[in-house]
Amino acid sequence: MLPRRSLNAARIGALALVVVASILGYQTSAKAYVGYAPPVANNQIALHAVTKTTTSSGTRVVIYPPHTVATFTLVGITWTGAVDPSSKFQVKVRESGVWTKWTNVTWSNEHGADGSSNEASTSRNGTDPLLTAPADGVAVRVTNDSGHLPSGIALSLVNSDLTAQDRSLISTRTVDSAVPASVISPQGAIVNRPNIISRAQWGANESWRNQDPDVGTTIIAGFIHHTASTNDYSSSQGPAQMRNLYSYYTQSLKYKDLAYNFLVDKYGNVYEGRSGCPRVVTTPCDGPAVPATGAHTAGMNTNTFAISAIGNFQTKDPGTATFAIMDSAIAGLMAWKIAPYGLDPNAIANIPMGSDPKHLSRYQQGDVAHVLTISGHRDVGQTVCPGKYLYAQIPTIRSKIASLLTPVIAVPQIDKPIIAPTSLDPIQISSVISAGASWTINVVNAVDNTVLASSTGVQQATGTVSYSWTHVDANSQPLTVGSYLVSIQQSVTPPATPSTPHPAAVITRGSGQIIIALAPTLNAPTWKYRTTKTATISWPAATSSIAVTYKYRIQDQVTKKFTAWSTAPAGKYSVIVKKLKFKRKYVLQLVAKNAVGDSAVKQLTFVQKR
């Protein structure tokens, strides 16, 4: 659900070493769009009671009868102070000349900033924003037990038009080296960074947010929310939706920034939400990697993060195919975010409850919430967020995260998979091994699995190990022609938590085979007359233990010139030579070739006649 505020914590510098130390390499970030901040209209209209009607469900107050207004694509209602907890806010809008039915816009003060934060003291309360199709008419009503409206109630109508850059953004994002390609967990898992659509790419106007974000010192848990807005949108509408939400949070609700750290749409696109970087950046800052304090889960925003799925997953089930896409995107993002901190999505996180003056959480100030590291908002708050359909997906999401956080043997390589028995060059066998892992590299005979060579060690930090094998056996005797297999094994014992002991994980990865082979042996070809200008050249298959190709060329004995080398079709042991001259003498040369080398040249002399 849509959040409400933020939290004070430490500054960015405290995290820099944590993130940098976990970097493996560099990868894609979408190309930055410097200065791209399309205009966003935010029309705020003060509301007041127009008519009151007693109904079976309470007093209905019409506060804005049907009005024609400037085009908008987001509607929300904000206020200051207390609100009758029985209040139900409803809107209807006019899209393409047709009025919709009355639609509930949900609200909950429990989704905001921690009560002790300065963000909580300056922000307004409000409903979740409703994203719409372009609309030019709106009406608002409230039903509650008392018939009273909160003070300072206002209607927000927001619109950012779809731009050509929005339409091309998803397909045109390019690779640069500005951000790390992956992170490495303390247990040795290598987790790829999602291709996050940055604030610069979706068009955030950075002047709307606070100068310096509040930043935590670590990450202890992640929450899954939903925006409780429309499920009907196209992929290209995502950037404009982000600008609308950003305007509603900062200009209508008066938040310091977007409430959520990340947003994910139904197409699997991941958007950067609340920034973790100062507005004026003087040193490199990777905002998504910073533990920026959001305003998503009142009382529990410190050292946690939240993603919000764009849509309402309480009222509508988007279906198996859409959830498969969203689950993978959410899991990939959350695995990347928690990996540097060594967290287990299925372990118990101990989250201290901060200040929440409205006491709308399931916990009181000073309590410690014992919930799973990856949880839904409803696990700690009195809310249906992230909706019953998305909430049912969270076990699947946790499972996917756990799989991504499993240490693996990565990038196994053999620099010379095929060599000649006379070669003196050693073979380099390498692989990325997890931190703390005991590892073994074995070379075995492919026929009887006899171990011919072995190397072992313990990896202090995740990185590459390399074994130089001189292709001799355990008795230092040169190996004969044959096939030899390489296997790499590591045994990892992740750190245990009080609630979830982890047994050692033994992982084996076969990285291919090494073949010691000879160059092919080839017998002489034969010639057969076909026509005055063509002949068939045939030969028996070469003797070789590995794949062979054949090449040939012809010399005219009058001109004494050879043709260029031609390669015979794969798997064929004959070719038809053309453009011969009748009764002319020719010399044909044939060579068999494999990965080790070439055979001796076999030569055939023939006269082109019957």
Rounded CA separation 230/232 (Å) = 5
Whether residues 439 and 398 share a domain: the answer is no
pLDDT score of 501: 42
Please determine, for residue 29, whether its predicted confidence score (pLDDT) is greater than 50. no
Would you tell me how many other CB atoms lie within 10 Å of the CB of residue 98? 9
Tokens representing 306? 């939240």
Mean pLDDT of the chain: 86
Contact 151, 81 (CB under 8 A): yes
Q: Which helix (H) or strand (E) holds 151?
A: strand 151-159
Give the bridge partners for 489, in sequence order: 440, 508
Q: Tell me the pLDDT tens digit for each residue of 284-318.
A: 889 999 999 998 887 889 999 999 999 999 988 99
What is the average pLDDT across 502-513? 66
Strands (E), 28-85: 41-46, 51-55, 58-80
> Do 143 and 174 belong together in one domain?
no
191 and 331 assigned to the same domain: yes
Last residue of a domain, one of 127, 159, 191: 159
CATH of residue 570's domain is 2.60.40.10
Tell me: pLDDT of 187 over 60.
Answer: yes
Q: What pLDDT score does 170 carry? A: 77
pLDDT at 429: 93
364-to-6, 88, 277, 302, 351 alpha-carbon distances in Å? 18, 26, 31, 15, 12
Compute the distance between CA of residue 231 and CA of residue 240 in angstroms, rounded to an integer: 15
DSSP 115-126: TTSHHHHHPPEE
Q: What is the pLDDT of residues 229-241, one digit of tens each?
A: 888 899 999 999 9
At 134, is the pLDDT very low, low, confident or very high (cuts 50, 70, 90)? very high
Higher pLDDT, 21 or 38: 38
- 135-149, pLDDT tens digit by residue? 999 999 999 999 999
R_g over Cα of the chain? 34
| Residues spanned by the domain of 171 | 13-35+162-404
**The predicted structure's pLDDT at residue 34:** 59
- How high is the pLDDT of residue 15? 32
pLDDT value of residue 113 = 60
Same domain, 171 and 260: yes
Task: Give the pLDDT score at 356.
Answer: 55
Same domain, 183 and 215: yes
Whether 333 and 221 share a structural domain: yes
Q: Is there a domain that residue 5 lies in?
A: no
Q: How far is CA 105 from the centre of its chain?
A: 31
Determine what percent of the chain is predicted with pLDDT higher than 90.
60
97-111, 167-181, 496-510, 596-610: least confident range: 496-510
> What pLDDT sits at residue 224?
97
pLDDT band at residue 56 using 50, 70 and 90 as cut-offs: confident
CA angle 273, 211, 80 (to 5 degrees): 75
Q: Which residues pair with 566 in a beta bridge?
A: 552
Digit-coded pLDDT (tens) for 69-124: 999 999 999 999 888 989 999 999 999 999 999 999 988 766 666 556 677 777 88
pTM of the complete model beyond 0.75: no
CA-closest candidate to residue 132, choices 163, 107, 159, 172: 159
| Cα distances (angstroms) measured from residue 47 to each of 141, 147, 251, 454 | 10, 14, 17, 78
Residue type at position 567: T
pLDDT digits (tens, 9 = 90+) for 258-279: 999 999 999 999 999 999 999 8
Q: Residue 517: what pLDDT?
A: 92
**pLDDT tens for residues 152-183?**
999 999 999 999 999 988 777 654 557 888 88
Task: Give per-residue pLDDT as tens, 409-447.
Answer: 777 889 999 999 888 899 999 988 877 788 999 999 888
3 falls within a domain: no
Q: Is residue 255 part of a domain?
A: yes
Does residue 296 form part of some domain?
A: yes
In this prediction, residue 535 carries a pLDDT of 96
Question: Considering 474, 497, 516, which residue would you say is the last residue of a domain?
Answer: 516
Whole-number Å distance between alpha carbons of 322 and 269: 12
Domain tally, the chain: 4
Q: Give the pLDDT score at 466.
A: 92
- Domain match, 511 and 423 both: yes
Pair (387, 501) in one structural domain: no
E strands present in 409-522: 410-414, 418-419, 427-433, 438-445, 451-458, 463-469, 482-492, 505-516
